[in-house]
Amino acid sequence: MILHAIDDTGRGATPLCIQSPDTVVLVLALGKYTSLCEETSLVLGTGAKCRLILLRSLYNALGPHVVAA
């Protein structure tokens, strides 16, 4: 899923929205954020409990050293 998003970024796609009910996808996407377009967001959860998370703000809040860990 993340590799497809990176490939889409290379082809000029912007913004990107990745949807998954699993928070592991969030961790993986943060790890590859610098390879994704700046407007990448994740939709986590299912049904009425969906959340939209903007990766840029989360990446900036955590910082590159924490994300790399």
Give residue 46's pLDDT. 83
pLDDT per residue as tens digits for the range 1-55: 899 999 999 999 889 999 988 889 999 999 999 999 999 999 998 888 889 999 9
pLDDT band per the 50, 70, 90 thresholds, residue 67: very high
Give residue 48's pLDDT. 87
> What does each C-alpha distance from 18 to 10, 29, 41, 42, 47 come to in angstroms?
16, 9, 6, 5, 16
pLDDT band per the 50, 70, 90 thresholds, residue 69: confident
- Strand positions, DSSP E, the chain: 17-20, 41-44, 51-54
Domain boundaries, the chain: 2-68
CA distance 69 to 57: 18
